[in-house]
Structure 1
Amino acid sequence: MNEYLKETQMLNFSHSSIQKLIGEKQWSNEDDFEKIRKIYKFVRDDIRFGYNTDDTISASEVLNDGYGQCNTKGTLFMALLRAVGIPCRIHGFTIDKSLQKGAMKGLIYRLAPQNIVHSWVEIQYKVCFYNIEGFILDSEYLKKLQEKFFDCKTSFCGYGVATDNFQNPQIEWNANNTYIQKESINYDFGVFNSPDEFFEKYKQRLSPLKRWIYQNIGRKLMNRNVEKIRN
């Protein structure tokens, strides 16, 4: 269990910005249920959905960006949980790129690999581990998507969403699993102690040119598309 509480290079929860946040929010004073619930809500809604430069940036960098996607928001979520004594681990997958259609358009979509590295966080609460994926999209962005596609009452795939209940996805934590992209998962890598271990073994397969295009052009266009929906 010590492995699920350990600080790592990516889970750098002793960083001053993370410690300052925890102190301001007073999460350490809560019981375990409230620690998880409040940190979950913070990562989901205060850290907006968006695309960072790389999956392997540290938790403090995600916090500084103020936005993230499945892998990067997961890193921040894990760091905050471990900082207040909540054991957690990472479960790695790939998802089909169709989930990104709408946020990702045109040539950028065509250049993207068919299978995209994805992860969720598994937290231990009492005697159970819970799958936590519902923090990826901030509530404001999801609400605007639901309004845009108000006639969709069942399954939806695109714009960062893959769920079988688009108007009422399982994104509130009350000692339960939460999901928002699960329906697009197409391969399971298994469980890892930390994102450092996972991404050392499984990284997004991009050529140097495609990586440069993503970091300098693609993700900026994707973030612009996300902001258009949100606003």
Structure 2
Amino acid sequence: MNAYLKETELLNYSHPTIQQLVHSRKWDRLPMKERILGIYNYVRDDVLFGYNRADDIPASEVLRDGYGQCNTKGVLFMALLRAVGVSCRMHGFTIDKKLQKGAMRGWYYRMSPREIVHSWVEVRYEDKWLNIEGFILDIPYLTKLQQKFGQCTGSFCGYGVATDNFQNPAVYWNESDTYVQKEGIVRDFGIYDSPDAFFFVHQQALSPLRKTIFRGVVRHLMNRNVSRIRRG
């Protein structure tokens, strides 16, 4: 189990900003359930849904940005968990790009690959592994989406969501699995000890030029769309 507590280049939990956060929230002094719940709620809601410059950035950078998506929020979640002694690992997938439609629009939706690299975090709790994905969307953003599409009570795919229960997705952790994009999964890449190992093998299917366009233009347009929805 030591591999699931190890510090890595991406899971840089010794970084001063991460240590300061852990100590200020006193997560390391709480019982195991409260440790996980406190970190989960923080990553879900205090770190807003948004798009960083890349997937493979260290946890300290995600924390500094103050926003993230499935992969980058997962990196921060894992770093915080390992910082307080909670074992965790990464499970990799691809998701259908239709899941991003709405957040991603027009020409930049058309230029994106059909499948997007995705991940969730598996957390060791009471001798079992739990699948944790429900931290991706902050509750204010999700609530505005639910209001915008209030007529939808079943399955929904778009705007960063892929769930079969749109008005009541499993995003509140209570010693169980949580999901908000699971229904968009296309391929399963399996389990990795760390995000470093996962991203070494699996990168977004973008050419160098398209990566540059994403970093410099597309992600800012997507973040603007997400902020507009969150404001209502």
Aligned counterpart, 1:198: 198
Q: Which deviates more from structure 2 when the two are superposed, residues 54-63 or residues 204-213?
A: 204-213
Aligned counterpart, 1:71: 71
Provide runs of 4+ in structure 1 moved above 3 Å.
none
Identical aligned residues as a percent: 62
**How far 1:24 moved relative to its partner?**
0.4
SS in 1 for 2:154: coil
SS in 2 for 1:123: strand
Q: List per-residue Cα deviations over 1:104-146 (Å, max 9, x = no partner).
A: 0000000000000000000000111000000000000000000
Q: Distance in 1 between matches of 2:174 and 2:158?
A: 26
Q: Distance in 1 between matches of 2:152 and 2:137?
A: 18
Q: Distance in 2 between matches of 1:212 and 1:180?
A: 28
Task: State the one-letter code of the partner of 2:110.
Answer: R
SS in 2 for 1:93: strand
Stretches of structure 2 lacking an aligned partner (at least 5 in a row) = none
TM-score of the aligned structures, taking structure 1 as reference length: 1.00
Q: Distance in 1 between matches of 2:86 and 2:9?
A: 18
**How far 1:45 moved relative to its partner?**
0.2
**How far 1:209 moved relative to its partner?**
1.0
Q: Distance in 1 between matches of 2:154 and 2:143?
A: 15
Q: Distance in 1 between matches of 2:58 and 2:157?
A: 29
CA RMSD, 1 decimal: 0.3
Q: 1:42-191 alignment to 2 at 5 Å?
A: 42-191=42-191
**How many residues were matched structurally?**
231
Aligned counterpart, 1:33: 33
**How far 1:172 moved relative to its partner?**
0.7
SS in 2 for 1:203: coil
Q: List per-residue Cα deviations over 1:154-192 (Å, max 9, x = no partner).
A: 000000000000000001111100000000000000000
Aligned counterpart, 1:211: 211
Q: Distance in 1 between matches of 2:150 and 2:112?
A: 28
In the alignment, is residue 15 of structure 1 matched against residue 15 of structure 2? yes
